[in-house]
A and B are shown apart, each in its own frame.
Chain A
Amino acid sequence: MSEQRKKSGLSVRAVVATGIGAAVFFILMKYIAIPTGVPNTNVNVAEGWLALIAGLFGPVVGFLVGIIGHTLTDATYGAPWWSWVLADGVFGLLLGLSKRFLDLQGGDLTAKKLIQFNVWQIVANVVSWVVIAPIGDILIYKQPANKVFLQGIVAAIVNILSVAIIGSILIVAYVKSRPKKSSLRSE
């Protein structure tokens, strides 16, 4: 019976991962911010968490965690700034595409995979913060181009560093906690 009824939409695990993922994202955004010295730019630990959760559960969960988490964070500071909310969603979506080649559940992580991941996260960061966020600011809010691109570039650099450090640490720690695929032998 259950085979015949094709389940529509998200799996239960994906729904829960989205909910909890966004809650943790929100808490990390609110409580852990490590200042870089430049005013108003913090190393955002939350983006590293987004990288892990997107890498584990795929693009749809990554997108939703980015959107929900960012909207809630913005809402408690005042009002959602939609162009950056969307950029965070796209960032989660792009990182979710790394699920395929990372295969974190499988439990073995090579240096090659880590480098692939970091190259990919740089691409994702540049697309989200240097392309989508500023263009959204220009189209939606009619802001001057050089101001929003400067903001975007600073955000991209900070987030690239944050994901490279925190994201990589989380991924390595996660894989270490998993049993290796080859750890069981039939006798």
Chain B
Amino acid sequence: MNNSLFGYKARDTWMNQTTGTAKLVGFLALTTVGMVSYDTRFLVALVILSFILIKISHIQYREYALLLKLVIFIGVLNLIMITVLAPQYGAELYGSKHVLFGSGYWTITQEQLFYELNLLLKYVFSFPLSIVLLFTTNPSEFASGLNKIGVPYKVSYAVALTLRYIPDVQSDYHTISLAQQARGYEISKKASLTKRMKGAVQIILPLVFSSLDRIDTISQAMELRRFGRYNKRTWYQDQKFSGRDFGMIIGTLIIVAIGILLVFQNGGRLWNPFN
């Protein structure tokens, strides 16, 4: 259940055998540099790279098609909002105005469309990266990976607990939901808003109390096993770094360096083709 929720499957690929730490470093570094950069060439390259990564991880299109459509839908919704609320923002950013059509408030400039293209690329590029990370990393390896990149082990352990207990809480939720529906509380679209609110509360209350009980039970069990006695901790899912991990980290560093170089070359985060 845990695996199906996050899509993790043991696949026999290069990506799967890379350690969680290396993938986490790669993911964080690439998403950060992609967030900072507004260089279209660089963003296009990142999009292509991340779809190549998804390809070599042997993740099938149908596994992420729905999510991809959702991401693009949300991205386009945001772009429409920007066009309606700030149609001159692109011209302002790039400091020039090449009018395409329209007049007055609704003047659509090349700069605006170019800015929105950049934004769409930003919405899209990080999606394959997080899919690759989620689909090829064993959830319990996340914790050791987080710990290795400097997150305190107690926080890493909390993340491991979250990933471990999401399926349990999910099944609790389903049981409670079915029981309350059998008693006549409706939360589907058919009911009115106030009825749905009441129905939701009737599900949340038992879920909240069973979860608070769970916190007590688990923390007592961990206390008995002396969790937190030492300042360090070893991980069962820990893996040794090999050549491919170093390769991935060096590759990431090169891409980040290119991104930073472009920022200096462009004299800022924006790449301006209009000059």
**Which residue in chain A gives the minimum CB-CB distance to B225?**
A12
A13–B74 Cα gap in the complex (Å)?
Answer: 38
**Which residue in chain B gives the minimum CB-CB distance to A16?**
B219
Q: What per-residue 1/0 map shows which CB atoms of A146-170 lie under 8 Å from chain B?
A: 1100110000000000000110011
Cross-chain contact of A76 among B6, B162, B223, B231 (Cβ < 8 A)? B6
Query: Which residues of A sit under 8 angstroms from B258, Cβ to Cβ?
Result: none
- B193 interface hit (Cβ, 8 Å): yes
Query: Which residues of B sit under 8 angstroms from A18, Cβ to Cβ?
Result: 155, 158, 161-162
Q: Given A20-B165, A34-B200, A144-B86: A12 and B193 within 8 A (CB)?
A: no
**Which residue in chain A gives the minimum CB-CB distance to B226?**
A12
Interface size on B, residues (CB 8 A): 67
Cross-chain contact of B223 among A12, A26, A27 (Cβ < 8 A)? A12
- A101 interface hit (Cβ, 8 Å): no
Q: What is the interface of chain B mostly: helix, strand, loop, or mixed?
A: helix
What number of A-B contacts does a CB cutoff of 8 Å give?
A: 173
| Contacting pair A49 B6 (CB below 8 A) | no
- B81 interface hit (Cβ, 8 Å): yes
- A116 interface hit (Cβ, 8 Å): no
Q: Given A20-B218, A141-B122: A15 and B203 within 8 A (CB)?
A: no
Cross-chain contact of B166 among A23, A45, A141 (Cβ < 8 A)? A23
Whole-angstrom distance from the CB of B143 to the nearest CB of chain A? 10
| Contacting pair B162 A26 (CB below 8 A) | yes
A80–B34 Cα gap in the complex (Å)?
Answer: 13
A contacts, CB < 8 Å to B: 7-13, 15-24, 26-28, 31-32, 34, 40, 43, 45, 48-49, 52, 56, 64, 68-69, 72, 75-80, 82, 140-147, 150-151, 165-166, 169-170, 173-174, 177
7 new A-B contacts, CB < 8 A, other than A15-B161, A18-B161, A34-B196, are A10-B228, A16-B161, A49-B208, A79-B130, A80-B126, A165-B197, A166-B204
